[in-house]
Chains A and B, each alone.
Chain A
Amino acid sequence: MSHTSRSDTPSNSTAPAFDFASTDASVVAAAAEDETAAYDLAGLAEATGATMTLLESVERAGLLLPHHVDESGTARYSEADARAVRAGMTLLDAGLPLGELLEIAKHTDAAVRSIAEPAVEAFLRFVRDPVHGTSTTPDEAAERLVTAYQRMLPATETLVAHHLRRALLHTAAQRASE
């Protein structure tokens, strides 16, 4: 095989061999670091007005994922996490029972994970691999990947959120007469 396509691994192509694993990890961190994770769980409770009992329950149920876990093992949460908690509390205030909200959250968790997996897979195959295959230096690859992440993450969020919104409205309209 003398000629390889862009999406093949670069080790047997003309691209330089460099440490993609560490590059990718730092790229992910750089792209995801949209903000600081200022809160531990108690801080998150204080920032949102949620009780520790509520946050601990939601966290044990696997429905409150930390921004990251710091070197001391403490789960850290960001302002985006605080916004999500406040959104949950808005639903509770509107009259949705917590038990139902947790059930919906479990479905959401399962559904978004099933979206996240193929979305990341597509990114790796059709964006990252070509970048690695066509960059001449690690720095160039990293820069291109950070740019790609920063464009694609909000675009994906918008796409999925928009579709959910449309699906919610369609379902609500269909069931309006019940």
Chain B
Amino acid sequence: MNLSSRVTTRWLDDHRPLLDFVPDGTSPWAWLHEGDGLVGWGTAFTSEPGSGPDRFAHSQHAFDEIAEHAVIDDEVLLPGTGLVAFGSFAFADDNPTSLLVVPRIAVGRRGGATWLTTITVDGQPHIADDLRDAASPRVPAVSDRPRYAGSSIPDVNWLEAVATAVDRIRGGHLDKVVLARDVALWSRHRFDVIDIAARLNRRFASCYTFIADGLAGATPELLAARFDRQVTSRVLAGTAARGTDTDHDDQLGSELADSPKEQWEHRLAVQSVRNVLEAVSDHVSGDDHPFLLKLENVQHLATDFTAEVRDDESALEVAAALHPTAAVGGFPRQPALDLITELEQMDRGRYAAPVGWVDAKRNGEWGIALRCAQFEGARARLFAGVGVVEGSLPEAELAETRLKLLAMQSVIGASDD
């Protein structure tokens, strides 16, 4: 296999939304946040690392080899310019669907400045400027409403799973476990993933919108970002609804901030992230007290960490060390993962796992693929999970996942905003 490539990054004077650059008929990758981000399409290289705990390391190694053999001509020199790869990893060690892809074309934007990167494998034809014509804006595909097609397990069985988890927690086997369930949807027409991502990006403007090999969503969870040598990570654990007006919203927020159960759940998550960051980086500093992060539909207790890479770990390597956090697995980690396997009776696929990008300068942003759905033609699979702790009520957890699934379904089904 030819690992050599020529990589060219140039400024691009084009201010269209990033998703509008993507040509029809491609399966794009995207990472979007507050106007900035990266989109990519076409495939220069693919790493399919298979299953196992080393899947992240295998893909990083493959990418390092590609970087070694690349001739990079980068006039922009920002995080995300030059050689770049998008990735999406499986939640579980035994799932083989992880992948890291170096696209042939990437368009990026940072602070309003836009660039175009082309990556041409030696011996393959050069595909330059394969951008959608700005004069012919994208027309969303004909859409039908999403229709229910069942779940991996009936939700009445999932209710039992939550009750069993609460029993185990009361029995002292573990402190917290995150249990998820899925819903399958079908439609008369294929789902337009780009259009859905654009809607997610508008609806959840403060989240990170991603498209990764058919997995599309908008996640609030930034697992690890690295820009130059600085690493940041945001821990979200503890959730409340948004209020109907400012007073109500503030009241729900302070109830969240003052709740011993939510504080305790948050501390578990913070501690597990701090432990990992301290193992792989220097100068770890985090907020002493969580702050309230108000998102479009919920508010979270949040703690931000900063650290400095110790041995030049890439953003992907830091994310790999953090996965799975207490926010998607539980605490302690191993008993929680064992319980998930036992109780969920569902393959999480790449849900609740690292999704993001990494460049040859080892920068990158990796979120946790939450609030997302896996699309394939006219079929989709939606996921939602909840943290189960000692005081959890099965019917309340069922209702919460139902609302999360409905929120996602309404974005998928909306014909416009």
Taking beta carbons and an 8 Å cutoff, which residues of A are in contact with B?
Answer: 51, 53-54, 57-58, 60-61, 92, 95, 97-100, 102-103
Contact with A along B123-157 (1 / 0, CB 8 A): 00000000000000000000000000011001110
Cβ-based interface call for B356 (8 A)? no
Q: How far is the CB of A105 from chain B (nearest CB, A)?
A: 11
Q: Is B33 an interface residue (CB 8 A)?
A: no
**Contact A102–B163 (Cβ < 8 Å):** no
State which of B150, B155, B163, B393 has its C-beta within 8 Å of the C-beta of A99.
Answer: B155
The yes or no answer to B399 lying at the interface (CB within 8 A) is yes
In the docked arrangement, what's the CA distance between A60 and B163, Å?
A: 14
Once the chains bind, are B154 and A98 in contact (CB under 8 Å)? yes
Contacts of A99 in B (CB 8 A): 155, 398-399, 401-402
Interface size, chain B (Cβ < 8 Å) = 15
Question: Which residues of chain B have a CB within 8 Å of any CB of chain A?
Answer: 150-151, 154-156, 159-160, 163, 393-395, 398-399, 401-402
B398 adjacent to A60 (CB under 8 Å): no
* Structural contact, B163 and A98, CB atoms closer than 8 A: no
In contact, A97 and B163 (Cβ under 8 angstroms): no
Q: Is the CB of B395 within 8 A of A102?
A: yes
Across the A-B interface, how many residue pairs have beta carbons closer than 8 Å?
39
The answer to whether B398 and A54 have CB atoms under 8 Å apart is: no
Nearest CB of B to A52, in Å: 9
Chain A residue at smallest Cβ distance from B394: A57
A residues within 8 A CB of B150?
95
**B399 touching A51 by the CB < 8 A rule?**
no
Interface centre among A53, A97, A99, A103 (most CB of B within 10 A): A99
**Are A92 and B395 interface neighbours, CB within 8 A?**
no
Q: When the two chains form their complex, are residues B159 and A54 in contact, meaning their CB atoms are under 8 A apart?
A: yes
- Docked complex Cα distance between A156 and B206 (Å): 53
Cα of A170 to Cα of B192 in the assembled complex, Å: 34
Q: Chain B residues near A54 (CB, 8 Å)?
A: 156, 159-160
Residues A53 and B155 in contact in the complex (CB < 8 Å), given A61-B395, A99-B399, A102-B395: no
* A53 CB contacts on chain B under 8 angstroms: 159-160, 163, 394
Measured in the bound complex, the distance between the Cα atoms of B159 and A147 in whole Å is: 44
Interface contact B155-A97, CB-CB below 8 Å:
yes
Q: Point out the residues of chain A lying under 8 angstroms from B155, CB to CB.
A: 97-99
Given contacts A53-B163, A54-B160, A99-B398, 20 further A-B pairs with CB under 8 A are A53-B159, A53-B160, A54-B159, A57-B394, A57-B395, A57-B398, A60-B393, A92-B156, A97-B154, A97-B156, A98-B154, A98-B155, A98-B156, A98-B159, A99-B155, A99-B402, A100-B402, A102-B395, A102-B399, A103-B402
Contact among B151, B159, B401, B402 for A57, CB-based, below 8 A: B159
Q: Min CB distance, A92 to chain B, in Å?
A: 6
**In the bound complex, do residue A60 and residue B395 qualify as a contact, i.e. CB atoms below 8 Å apart?**
yes
A99 CA / B156 CA spacing, docked (Å): 8
A97 CA / B399 CA spacing, docked (Å): 11
